[in-house]
Structure 1
Amino acid sequence: MAEITAFERRKLEKVLGMGDGYVLDFSDRTYAEFFLDFRVDIDAPEYRVGGGSKAKRMRTFWEIAPNHTVGKVLDGLIAYGLQIDRLGDSNPALVDDCRKIAQRLLSDQPVADMEALTAIADERDFEVVAEHVREAIEKNQPEGALDRLHTFVNKFIRVTCEPHGITISRDKPLHSVFGEYVKALRASGHLESAMTERILRSSISVLEAFNDVRNNKSLAHDNPILNYDESLLIFNHVASSIRFIKSLEARIKAKSLAQKADEPLWDETIPF
């Protein structure tokens, strides 16, 4: 349930023009299309328990969706309303108040580094599994997507390790591949502190334990799934690690390109 006070609801309803059951200038079709951009099926039965009008479905959406999802939708609605000049009340102070409500809700994200969980290769299955992982976070249901997070991590580490000359095979476990990656980083001088190396090495045993979670505590098989709090901890740890690795790999690539740019285009030892 989104944390919106009764006073805030009145402000939002006024700005979105919800007094007569409408929301801005949306038809039923465009309303559904707008919400689909935020991975929400506003036509689903759970949003119609309070009535089928657009305004009633919006109120139900506020009742059952998590803060971050509601914040994203509200932010989008306000931007759209300003663009078409059709806000129910365009008083600048009121619109600004509603924007602040949206931003406050947006700041309540269960996984801090969620934006790091994106595909890094042009592969359809990689993109799909990344989208499923982010959707689970946005719905605040990490326990239901541990198996997909495990698949995402496998794909991410494979794509990341290949440029470092690390052999990838189906028989080599994920934690072994990552261990070779950490060794390669150290050998190439890409890690500046022993503490960073130690943190990355600790992730080797974490990834080994992730295999057990995936096989015995996720929807990959007919198992009782892991509880919400521990699932959220796993998501946050994985997302934080991936954010760091993406940043590190970008720095390595930039350094390599700079070195190539400094190389002479000819061999200065050739006497002509």
Structure 2
Amino acid sequence: MERRQLENLFGMGSGYVLDFTNYTFSNFFYDRRVNIDAKRYEEDGASKAKRMRTFWDVEGNHVVGRVIDGLIKYATDEQCFGDSDPLLINDCRKIAQRLLSDQPVTELDALTAIANEKDFEVVAEHVREAIEKNQPEGGLDRLHTFVNKFIRVTCESHGISITRDKPLHSVFGEYVKTLREGGHLESAMTERILKSSISVLEAFNDVRNNKSLAHDNPILNYEESLLIFNHVAASIRFIKALETKIKARAKAAEQQAARFPWDESIPF
């Protein structure tokens, strides 16, 4: 029933999809990291509608939901729906949201670059792509690279020195100490959780070197790879939120000092 609703909304009965040409159809999918021109999507035919149906068959729910959501937004902006039933459009939006909720890594959106560095952005995209394809075991080496970059950029803003010889878990240990001494952690439990991540990061080096595609290794199994992704993503989401609060407080303090530049040497 959902397929019929989507096909009706996107006008797929004649082999087309909305107002796309082959060129714009390919570009739309390319922007969402999908090569819709690949042979795997042409098993039942090469028309845009047939490739779309095959795409629905072979890809995971989250990837399909992301594309459907993008198609609805595109069609709305380009006024492609014409006199389509608003209830149908709303039902298809709900389909997209349901599919988008089927995500093996719940905090995947946290795995984004935090510095304007091309290599940081590229590795972040590759990490997300591994999850969107439901292949976490194939993305462990890139996740390790991402975590290194993320921690380096985060620690540099706190004046923590970064050297090639200093291991990642040692750098993170200094970061946790800085958070504690700066009064940025409200509970002992949060500090314990972050401290446990120090040993987790140390173990991550072994996974990267001996159980990932970084070298010619037998890679880690799917379930344990997914556990690593979820743990890392949840930790990064928390650190991003915490850093946002720290920066906001620092900015507020600067503004307060600028408004009231009292000379503390005056004894009254």
Asked if TM exceeds 0.5, the reply is yes
Counterpart in the other structure of 1:267: 263
1:130 to 124, 128, 135: 124
SS of the counterpart of 2:227?
helix
1:237 to 228, 231, 249: 231
What is the CA–CA distance in structure 1 between the aligned matches of 2:121 and 2:79, rounded to whole Å? 36
Counterpart in the other structure of 1:4: none
Shift of 1:157: 0.5
Counterpart in the other structure of 2:106: 112
1:80 to 74, 92, 101: 74
What is the CA–CA distance in structure 1 between the aligned matches of 2:252 and 2:18, rounded to whole Å? 51
1:25 to 16, 19, 25: 19
Name the CA shift for 1:172/1:107 in 2 (closer, same or farther; >3 Å): same
Instruction: Read off the aligned partner of 1:200 and give its amino acid letter.
Output: L
Deviates more, 1:199-208 or 1:118-127: 118-127
1:103 to 84, 89, 97: 97
TM-score if structure 1 supplies the norm length? 0.93
SS of the counterpart of 2:13?
coil
Shift of 1:192: 0.9
Q: How does 1:200-215 map to 2 (within 5 A)?
A: 200-215=194-209
TM-score if structure 2 supplies the norm length? 0.95
CA contact under 8 A between 1:178 and 1:204: conserved in structure 2?
yes
Tell me the number of residue pairs that the alignment of Structure 1 and Structure 2 aligns.
265
Shift of 1:123: 1.2
Counterpart in the other structure of 2:169: 175
- Percent identity over the alignment? 74
Q: Deviations over 1:136-162 (max 9, x none)?
A: 111111111100000000011111111
Q: Deviations over 1:212-262 (max 9, x none)?
A: 100011000000111111111111100100011111111111111111222
SS of the counterpart of 1:196?
helix
Instruction: Read off the aligned partner of 1:255 and give its amino acid letter.
Output: R
Q: How large is the Cα RMSD of the aligned pairs?
A: 1.5
Matched, 1:165 2:159: yes
Any unmatched runs of 5+ in structure 2?
none
Counterpart in the other structure of 1:3: none
Shift of 1:95: 1.7
What is the CA–CA distance in structure 2 between the aligned matches of 1:126 and 1:157, rounded to whole Å? 12
What is the CA–CA distance in structure 1 between the aligned matches of 2:177 and 2:75, rounded to whole Å? 53
Instruction: Read off the aligned partner of 1:78 and give its amino acid letter.
Output: I
What is the CA–CA distance in structure 1 between the aligned matches of 2:125 and 2:44, rounded to whole Å? 30
What is the CA–CA distance in structure 2 between the aligned matches of 1:103 and 1:111, rounded to whole Å? 16
Instruction: Read off the aligned partner of 2:133 and give its amino acid letter.
Output: K
Any unmatched runs of 5+ in structure 1?
1-6
SS of the counterpart of 1:19?
helix
Shift of 1:50: 1.2
Instruction: Read off the aligned partner of 1:265 and give its amino acid letter.
Output: P
1:253 to 241, 247, 266: 247
Instruction: Read off the aligned partner of 1:138 and give its amino acid letter.
Output: E
Shift of 1:268: 5.5
Instruction: Read off the aligned partner of 1:110 and give its amino acid letter.
Output: P
Instruction: Read off the aligned partner of 1:169 and give its amino acid letter.
Output: T
